């Protein structure tokens, strides 16, 4: 019976030693892994911190306002919020030079007119070429409207 107790205790000690050995292997390797991962995160954090610090030192910002434009021009960004793509005429729809010359000749201008001059002359010519006055003939009135549009594009 005394031998059974010694064998039982010895058996328990061997199992306990084996368990501690397994814990030792797990925690030392896992501990090494955790240290490597921790060092990796510390290095990445350090690099990000220095990058942000450098960006602040260079006064880098993503915010724009009118004070950052040349000559202190007041630029209203709110105009772009209501911008409609179909309102954009672009260079493709700009009137040709010969059409502008024909329009100036039709209106009787020798110089580049202002909007007010175009409107005034349009009213005069509209009274002259209106279809009600010319027995329903509307070709001159269509021409007048077309040339007025061309001149208004060149002014604005």
CA atoms of 124 and 111, how far apart (whole Å) = 18
What are the pLDDT tens digits along the chain (156 aa)? Answer: 567 787 888 888 888 888 888 777 777 777 777 777 778 888 888 988 888 877 776 665 556 555 555 555 565 656 555 555 555 555 556 777 788 888 999 998 888 888 999 999 999 998 888 888 878 788 888 898 999 988 888 886
- The pLDDT assigned to 50 comes to 85
CA atoms of 103 and 153, how far apart (whole Å) = 11
Are 137 and 131 in contact by the 8 Å Cβ rule? The answer is yes
Q: Which residue intervals of 1-156 are DSSP H helices?
A: 2-57, 97-107, 115-129, 139-155
Backbone angles phi, psi at 53, to 5 degrees: -65, -40
DSSP helix/strand/coil, 62: coil
- The pLDDT assigned to 117 comes to 92
- This model's pTM is above 0.85: no
């Amino acid at each position: 019976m005394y031998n059974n107790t010694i064998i039982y205790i010895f058996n328990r000690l061997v199992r306990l030693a084996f368990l501690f050995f397994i814990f030792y292997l797990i925690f030392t390797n896992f501990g090494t892994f955790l240290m490597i991962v921790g060092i990796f995160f510390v290095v990445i954090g350090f690099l990000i911190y220095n990058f942000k610090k450098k960006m602040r030192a260079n006064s880098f910002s993503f915010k724009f306002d009118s004070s950052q434009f040349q000559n202190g021009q007041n630029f209203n960004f709110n105009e772009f919020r209501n911008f409609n793509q179909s309102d954009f005429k672009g260079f493709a729809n700009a009137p040709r030079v010969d059409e502008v010359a024909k329009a100036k000749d039709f209106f009787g201008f020798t110089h580049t007119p202002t909007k007010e001059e175009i409107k005034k002359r349009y009213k005069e010519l509209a009274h002259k070429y209106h279809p009600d006055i010319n027995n329903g003939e509307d070709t001159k009135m269509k021409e007048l409207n077309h040339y007025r549009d061309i001149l208004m594009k060149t002014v604005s």
